[in-house]
Chain A
């Protein structure tokens, strides 16, 4: 009940003030009255060089970059598909369902292999594994766990250190967190044991990776599970304090995807943006494309990249989601309250 009220209180203002963005930036504003509107879950800092190189190629296009969470993107975009040109999100499942529901317009001539696109409408442009990020201090003098199993053992070994100092996504709020959780659960039973152990240690739940990494850097938490490595690496100032671990037994790997709205007001520019984005990701210039490209080999670990296929819609099913969340809450929250 408390959760329900909290949820309502959290969702309500967002519903009423739908335009409250995490971030909103204009590029090349003076160039044109018409703005290419991009709704995205990726921090502006990652996209600034991408947009700037796009603008230098298309100086007549103004770009408005709007940042919000993956779940919000799904909700806002479905309500007003004609208000946006490009949709970028890390929640592959939500993105794929949008395409399946016919809300994306196909873009031709995008040079991507078939596994990195769906219906010529949804285009993957990064490959980012979910990482375990730890605060080095907490593990000083102890072996650093490099698998989920070892993490469980480490947590069990020193509960007093980790109680209240473990963080992960609140899968009820974060689309990406939900995607990672469901794919993890699908991959192995270890996930549930890990959640139970973490739940018993009063896990902290975050809506977004930013907050989680902040807390990790300053030592509020010692372990963050299923965080995007790319976000953690970007925090140069915290580099010394944290360490990114890619679980050697199949890190779940997500692909950030982009699509053009079916009702895009500026379809041509939007298509150009998609092509530009794909061209950048396959290019070798790190400065122009600060995100991990599709073919990157991080630490040479074998990765299980989440496939772009209709099966992604499985966990979005109402019944399935309800059941999964119930189980998740069982493991994470109930134990927390005990």
Chain B
């Protein structure tokens, strides 16, 4: 029954992975966003200082006696001091002529008031370069002074590295928290499913009542269809039980009627020919009735074995009652039934099934052993609970020992005896349903022995 179903992955893992993946992406985004923003802010800071510095240099430019003078204020470079001692480069141009500074510094063409900020390579180093210009009006001519000022970015990259570290730490923290949260969230979600599973498994075999406890709305369809499935199951089980009882009744009653008519007729018929025919008829009716009974018993056992109704019972009393009931039939055949047992054996099992099984075994013993014999019935709990029925007949046909318990199988010695081949099958099924087995053997001094262990 508990066959392993193939799984299509774990819902929980799927949830956890999706959430953690999302968290990772978010954390990365966060990291880059923070870093990007910090870069902008830091760059803005450097640009502001560079801009102020270049403006102060331009302000110091003047025309004196026709020549350009740029009296760079000490503060212009002083304000560019950084923690990491960044290097600075500058160049001053009058129109297109280089005046002073670093001639190799490339500068942008500027016009008007605006300063131009660029990140360029200078002497193999990335520098932030600002270019600004100012137009001086002399006596004869207008002239443009351009100043380029560049600074390395050691302090900036130091700050950025620090910010990156912090952002990374922040992102990792965020990720860890989100991961924990997602694990917790998926556990609680899957927990609902587990709870339902538990309440399904914990149910008794007969409990087919619907689930009433509140479940999350997403699980409602599942629980609803589960409930409706169980309702249908309950219904069809009830129907089969009814059907078996009904069938037994429907077959047996008319057969009994037919038999009584046949017997009544037999009283009134004198012609030996006809009497013979009627006797055969009665025998056939008996046979059918018995076969029908066996068939129904078998069906009933098959059905009940799946839904075994355990009940505490005294096995000794149960078997003894049966033996007492069968006593008159045995006497009719001149057979002696001997009952041996422990004082009392408390056993949990289905009394109807066990009685049925033992009756079939005793029936066989009565059927297949000659008169004047003895049938020994032993009920004991040592070493394990079992019922043994041994007779003093010819025993089971030894070459068929292994197959006699199969359905509808009758032995070679069964010719002339009424039977359906289901007796041993029923006994075997009952034993198995109770976790035991049926063993057939022949005694050393003849006689068949059937051992029903439970």
Residue numbers of A with Cβ under 8 A of B are 99-100, 102, 114, 118-119, 186, 307, 309-314, 317-320, 323
Contact = CB atoms under 8 A, between A and B. Distances in A.
Contacts of B100: 317-320
Contacts of B92: 317, 319
Given A102-B123, A118-B85, A319 B69 contact: yes
A320 B75 contact: no
Contacts of B74: 186, 311, 314
Contacts of A313: 77, 88
Given A102-B87, A102-B123, A317-B100, A323 B69 contact: yes
B80 A310 contact: yes
Interface string B70-81: 111111111011
Given A118-B85, A119-B85, A119-B87, A319 B77 contact: no
Interface of B: 68-78, 80-81, 83-89, 92, 99-101, 123
Contact of A314 (B76, B87, B123): B76
B94 to A, nearest CB: 10
A320 B72 contact: yes
Given A317-B72, A317-B101, A318-B99, A311 B77 contact: yes
Interface SS of chain A: helix
Contacts of B68: 319
Contacts, number: 61
B72 to A, nearest CB: 5
Contacts of A320: 70-72, 100
A118 B77 CA distance: 15
A311 B69 contact: no
Nearest to B80: A310
Nearest to A121: B85
A311 B78 CA distance: 5
Given A311-B75, A314-B77, 9 more contacts: A102-B123, A114-B83, A119-B85, A307-B81, A313-B88, A314-B73, A314-B74, A317-B92, A318-B99
Contacts of A309: 77-78, 81
Nearest to B60: A320
Given A100-B88, A317-B101, A319-B100, A310 B70 contact: no
A310 B101 contact: no
B81 to A, nearest CB: 4
A314 B85 contact: no
Contacts of B101: 317-318
A23 to B, nearest CB: 32
12 contacts: A99-B87, A100-B88, A102-B123, A309-B77, A310-B87, A310-B88, A311-B74, A311-B76, A311-B78, A314-B72, A319-B69, A319-B99
